[in-house]
Chains A and B, each alone.
Chain A
Amino acid sequence: AQSVTQPDIHITVSEGASLELRCNYSYGATPYLFWYVQSPGQGLQLLLKYFSGDTLVQGIKGFEAEFKRSQSSFNLRKPSVHWSDAAEYFCAVDAPEYGNKLVFGAGTILRVKS
């Protein structure tokens, strides 16, 4: 069955340090891939998406993600984390052959220490 795995429940990084959040998916073909961010008490906001083409995609707030077909991964990165990046991050997958539904990973909570 299709699935989205975010292996890290919590990650803590120092302000100014680089960040990588992991996401792996299990689908028969290359799906559409997304990263969303949720600040406390808020709904989710789209950071970036990959449909096709260049496997390195740029998003808002200085985030980027790289699609690696061979590893079935879509990891989110940021070169220098700011305290305001503390939030929960969700990887999501949409495979049209499964009905155009977004399936979300369990989320990774990012803590930023000063």
Chain B
Amino acid sequence: AQKITQTQPGMFVQEKEAVTLDCTYDTSDPSYGLFWYKQPSSGEMIFLIYQGSYDQQNATEGRYSLNFQKARKSANLVISASQLGDSAMYFCAMRMNTGFQKLVFGTGTRLLVSP
């Protein structure tokens, strides 16, 4: 079975600083995708970044980058130059490349950005 672990219930960062949110995963399948989503207090899940298990380079999307270490089974999210609007819950998720869209989520990390 697939499992996502996020060990940081909460993180604090000052505006303009970088922050790393941790995510480790467990699967025996060789082909999978890893995702990060942001959930503001409004409830909507916002897609941030995706990393395929066979991708050679770490994914980047603007201020977001994914530090993918396959041997360690980790997929940490790095947010550079934090902004006040980054305050939200962040979820790491995994999907097997079976053609189905089922996502397995971690428990999330609440990020608070202070001025």
Question: Does chain A bind chain B?
Answer: no
